[in-house]
Amino acid sequence: MHTIIEPFRIKSVEPIYFNTKEERKNILETAFYNPFLIHSTDVLIDLLTDSGTSAMSSNQWAGIMQGDESYAGSPSFFRFEKTIQDITGLPLVIPTHQGRAAEKILFSIFGGRGKYILSNTLFDTTRANIEFSGAEGIDLVCEEGKHPGIPAPFKGNMDTGLLEAFIQEKGAENIPLVILTVTNNSGGGQPVSMQNIREVKKICVENTIPLFIDACRFAENAWFIKLREAGYADKTIPEIVKELFGYADGCTMSAKKDAFANIGGFLAMRNESLAQQCRNLLIMTEGFPTYGGLAGRDLEAIAIGLIEVMDESYLQYRIRSIEYLSNKLVDAGVPVMLPAGGHAVYLIADEFLPHIPIEQYPGQALAAALYLEGGIRSVEIGSLMFGKYDTAGKLIPAQLELVRLAIPRRVYTQSHIDYVAEVIIEVYKKRDQIKGLTITEEAPALRHFTVKLKPHN
Ligand code: F0G
């Protein structure tokens, strides 16, 4: 078989600004060892996120020019609405400026003190919106999902036994919503199987609990179902996607991922009175229901991106390019989450740096080391992002200590990825010299965005 090539040519390019290791040492200090505080022009390869960082297609840019900027009833909205209805089968579509705006609206309605929102694994902003409402977010990922080094086809699945037990224990009346994240971002970009979605839906129906999908990476998840799940090899991606959303009462979506848009999101659902409640909240903070915090041109770009992302030659290239990086690291003995995720490779930081105690945030120390060595920006997904303190002020660690290398869509070429692998392998060889970090300043919620650290001495 030939090399799977990028299924596109490049028409417009952006420069990468090179800097030296000495310069990066200063930059890192100035940014308090927090990659979110580094200026993007100081980054060589930016793998901080796959969110909003996609290269748009010439068709999407053409769509941008077609955007109708009317306040109400723009044709761009109706194209957006119809595309989402066609793809998902969900009839009621509400645009938002990004995924977390959709979450904020949803959990303002479903959240509240004494309530539990159950998930395979909640993303950080989703959890924050749930907790802000007073409710508790509960992760019930399957057993395979808790062992990063052991491969399994659907490590993003929810543990249906735990789901049933939780409902039994707390009572269905205290569980207003179950939300499945596809793919499971915080759990390593791992997919959820159709069978699992079907089983979760059955339990939800038996207990009269609505099921929502956090659909950010729905197309990547559908591709994994096609590749790995019995009975799906001959189905088209739109067929798989339609079936997936068919089990849902609604979804939240960040169009900054699998819609190749630089901004945008939406809520979609079946229940008219719920949609009405959502629109009422939408008008207060996002905007009128036919634009919801977006420009008409954004609605056009999203509608076009949602179709493009389901192209099989794109998905084959996309998933293969992530696996390509993962394989290179595995061959060099670097501990990575297996198998490779749909949008990112995850380094297992506590195995990479076993000499650094969790209280000194090995994931953050590794992210800092990758930047210093080769100007690569990544993000810690571990105890800095998800850790909490007990009443005595002692850190309660996250389930996994990972560093995510998220690959922006259609942005980097194979030689960029080869360079990334070289840098990581170099850092791995020198791992004994890497020191832990101590927090000097932190916010009460979502602290990883603004936290300040210094090397532990
Ligand atoms: N849900 C998941 C699974 C996500 O990965 C994200 C964002 C959101 C919701 C929120 O969407 O950013 O449009 O408000 N994830 C980005 C990331 C930020 O880097 O993984 P948003």
Q: Provide the number of structural domains found in the chain.
A: 2
Q: Are 203 and 324 in the same domain?
A: no
Among residues 243, 274, 308, the one where a domain terminates is: 308
- Ligand 1 within 6 A of 120 CB? no
Helices (H), 98-193: 99-110, 124-132, 160-170
Q: Are 399 and 444 in the same domain?
A: yes
Which ligand 1 atom minimizes the distance to the CA of 51? 16
Tens-place pLDDT, residues 363-382: 999 999 999 999 999 999 99
Quick check: 186 pLDDT over 90?
A: no
Q: Are 255 and 350 in the same domain?
A: no
Q: Are 321 and 219 in the same domain?
A: no
* Domain of residue 30, residue span: 21-50+311-455
Q: Using CA atoms, how far apart are residues 298 and 293, in angstroms rounded to an integer?
A: 10
Distance (angstroms) between ligand 1 centre and the Cα of 47 equals: 14
Q: Using CA atoms, how far apart are residues 225 and 183, in angstroms rounded to an integer?
A: 11
Quick check: 263 pLDDT over 90?
A: yes
Among residues 275, 308, 341, the one where a domain terminates is: 308
Give one DSSP letter per residue of 322-387, joined into a string. Answer: HHHHHHHHHHTT--B-SS--SSEEEEEHHHHSTTS-GGG-HHHHHHHHHHHHH-EE-EEESHHHH-
Among residues 258, 287, 308, the one where a domain terminates is: 308
φ/ψ region of 416 (left if φ > 0, alpha if ψ in -120 to 50, else beta) reads alpha
The answer to whether position 116 is within a domain reads: yes
The answer to whether 95 and 149 are in contact (CB under 8 A) is: no
CATH code of 77's domain: 3.40.640.10
% pLDDT > 70, the chain: 100
Q: Are 73 and 200 in the same domain?
A: yes
The answer to whether position 12 is within a domain reads: no
The answer to whether position 141 is within a domain reads: yes
CATH code of 333's domain: 3.90.1150.10
The answer to whether position 171 is within a domain reads: yes
Quick check: 399 pLDDT over 90?
A: no
The answer to whether 32 and 449 are in contact (CB under 8 A) is: no
Tens-place pLDDT, residues 282-293: 999 999 999 999
- Ligand 1 within 6 A of 193 CB? no
Q: Are 252 and 336 in the same domain?
A: no
The answer to whether position 5 is within a domain reads: no
Q: What is the mean pLDDT of residues 126-150?
A: 95
The answer to whether position 13 is within a domain reads: no
Give the list of residues 6+ apart from residue 112 with CB closer than 8 angstroms, or none.
Answer: 133, 134, 135, 176
Of the pLDDT bands very low, low, confident and very high (cuts 50, 70, 90), residue 1 is: confident
Q: Using CA atoms, how far apart are residues 77 and 93, in angstroms rounded to an integer?
A: 10
The answer to whether position 366 is within a domain reads: yes
The DSSP element (H or E) to which 94 belongs, if any, is strand 92-96
Our mutation pick for probing the ligand 1 site, out of 216, 220, 298, 449, counting the most ligand atoms within 8 A of Cβ, is 216
The answer to whether 90 and 250 are in contact (CB under 8 A) is: yes
The answer to whether position 414 is within a domain reads: yes
> Of 399 and 15, which is predicted with more confidence?
15
